[in-house]
């Protein structure tokens, strides 16, 4: 990779997670890719590109007909791919921000539901305690009334 592409690759995650405050989509794109040069250096001579096969056993070269026009076409294609990727990145970043906000709202809702659940549990425990206390008093009253009735019967006999 050339130095300009490495700068783009290195700054893209930083721009994503640092969330730069730009004036708009165009400003964000310009901030991310402002240092990228889109012009191809002009050469008077045709370039010869050499490459090796995977094993490195043989070398071949492309004929000098690989010229500036072909390189310009490739450059234009790469520019369009960069613009398309940038556009997709911006769209995905917006979707990510929406999902992040939605997730935070979901967490807040979950916390409120947990608090409401605790209130309901405490209220129901209070009702159960009250019912158990009432039941205990009724049993005590029943025992007391039963004892009182027996003592009345004994007194009457």
Q: Are 61 and 50 in contact (CB under 8 A)?
A: yes
- Any domain includes 100: yes
pLDDT in tens, 24-64: 445 544 554 554 544 445 554 445 555 554 444 444 555 55
Question: How sure is the predictor about 106, in pLDDT bands with cuts at 50, 70 and 90?
Answer: very high
pTM value is 0.39
110 pLDDT more than 70: yes
Instruction: Report how many domains make up the chain.
Output: 1
Q: Given phi > 0 = left and psi -120 to 50 = alpha, else beta, which region is 127?
A: alpha
Residue ranges making up the domain that contains 54: 38-123
- Any domain includes 12: no
- Any domain includes 133: no
DSSP string, 75-119: HHHHHHHHHHHHHHHHHHHHHHHHHHHHHHHHHHHHHHHHHHHHH
């Amino acid at each position: 990779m050339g130095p300009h592409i490495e700068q783009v690759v290195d700054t893209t995650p930083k721009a994503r997670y640092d969330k730069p405050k730009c004036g708009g989509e165009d400003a964000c794109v310009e901030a991310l890719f402002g240092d990228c040069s889109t012009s191809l250096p002009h050469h008077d001579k045709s370039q010869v590109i050499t490459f090796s096969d995977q094993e490195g056993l043989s070398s071949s070269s492309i004929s000098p007909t690989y010229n500036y026009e072909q390189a310009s076409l490739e450059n234009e294609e790469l520019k369009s791919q960069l613009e398309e990727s940038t556009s997709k990145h911006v769209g995905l970043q917006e979707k990510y921000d929406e999902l992040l906000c939605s997730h935070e709202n979901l967490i807040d809702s979950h916390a409120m539901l947990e608090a409401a659940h605790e209130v309901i549990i405490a209220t129901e425990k209070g009702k159960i305690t009250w019912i158990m206390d009432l039941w205990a008093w009724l049993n005590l009253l029943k025992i007391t009334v039963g004892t009182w009735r027996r003592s009345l019967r004994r007194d009457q006999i």
